[in-house]
Structure 1
């Protein structure tokens, strides 16, 4: 393991420990430490959930496609794809814990699940996906579990043949899980009929396209850091860049199509939502669109893929754009409270109904009809800690397991 990777592992582990302390502090003081409230109940943590789920789904889509469609040039990246999928899906499961306040509440979901709720579906698919990605990674590792690691290997006559056979058999199921996890996560939002910003059939396919793009970017970045940017892997990186570019085009089309329909046919409430999205957060929306377009085009350039600093910069720009996209799911849905009344039956007249914020601040009204949310320091620290956890887990696995051993063709 290189010195840079070793330093990165210790640094990410340290950040995760700091975040763990911050979470314990939040458990002690309560969700009042966050800037969420009654009118804005999903904030940075749920944005992080959507972000990590996308990274995870894209990783296993790539790995399963390698064996499903026989793309041999990508085989050196197969184990990295499964590993990043497992790291990100467990990160997605972890980020839910600080959002629900007290983890003991999970018992209510286990003992009294409401199977009509997409939240329950998401818990089920997250656990199944974590199990599927772990099993897939184990099958891919099996031929290389030798020496001290041989005690972890199941006894089969020909480990390489067994691994190849079962990787192909499981690939369709893994691909289904990878797509399903993001479809169900999208349904959590798009089934909320009271939130016009989310209430769209385009959200599920858009989530899948973003997942494929960002998950592939994560694998590309991990592969470049692990294997380098030499000529040997340029064909593989080129295929990944093409996948990223095409998935980005699909995402931008679906997003713009949805925005045009909302703007053209929307009612007064929808126009207020569009005002929040493209006035209050105009610069953020411009960044999410421009960063994805620029990064996807840059990654298509062979000269960029041959330069590790440029590849890291382009990949980082793309991942940052996707995270901003995930964060912007929330403001237009929550900043304008979707509770109105028509006074005295007057046509084209709507009054906002204020609701209790759940906070008491001297000099400010307890009842509000709009709220502009920005994450608190505690929320930012905990999210960064979960990111650090995923990085630490990937680096630890690379250090301890034969993730980067030469593939057999």
Structure 2
């Protein structure tokens, strides 16, 4: 018979195990492996372009819209000019989303007179997903049926019940009734859904619906804006609006930089989030902006774009692009500044480039209780700290900002993504 102390210890160990299991499941990511048909039939016309070109275009839009913490992979078949059923290639293993790398591989594909080994490609996909943790899904995009004597519906059913628990969704590109029947049976057996796409718009809609189905919602995400509509949502408030110099279009919020500093109350089109915030949170912004030469030798007379934590013209924290002084060769920098009760405090700046022109930046500010820390993503994809401020009573609203000094040239900034995540 166990002693009281032993029973207590045993109970604690059990509780720790259960808690750790629940925590690991809560933190598990979504894992998606796309299987893309690159056989010769993908060269067929699909409206005003080929099926392959439509797939490439829609893929690009999909990748840019996926959450940055989802794991994504790419597998291809039929992309070699022979009928070898074993020619199946995992071009991108399932890993944290690298949209540029996956898109580069998609762009390289040209339809070839290869086989359509759907069943074998699904088995290979299962191997690629075997070792990852979290929800798992296969998304098959094809315009034909199995040509290698496999039984893809049976494979999909096995994958569903084998312990690795993979859901299979299928998109049929301009398929005939017989092909549609087989592709739909794969989705049904795999616990997923079949989508018919007879034109590029239907393909885009299908993949958008699949994204909603396969991407696990992060309960910590408070707000995620990808600027995919024609208007801003009601979660935004525009401070000092200037409609002639701002538009939501092609998946971006585009702003033409106008003269005026936030500290003067003259910065135009400060787009502020109006929702409730927890005590600790992170604001992430991805954007591309154009930095050009300017006539002044003063570093602050330049273009500035990024994120601002705003509480009026006398109190804000600012993380933006800027440029260094002439004696440094006018490098492009990211500056982290605090303006409190009408006065600038000593700030931080880090050189990120020495090139002019349009470039993409990813930045974020983490608020943990009273500490605000700024980060940027470097060329290797690592987050690098810039500096930190303490503010005991700041009541800031996260916002997007893009402005310029009066003597700086007018350029534009395309804001691509704005995400607020709870850190509690």
**Structure with higher RCO (Cα < 8 A, 6+ apart):** 1
Q: Give the TM-score normalised by structure 2.
A: 0.27
Q: Give the TM-score normalised by structure 1.
A: 0.28
Larger radius of gyration: 2
Greater helix proportion: 1
Greater strand proportion: 2
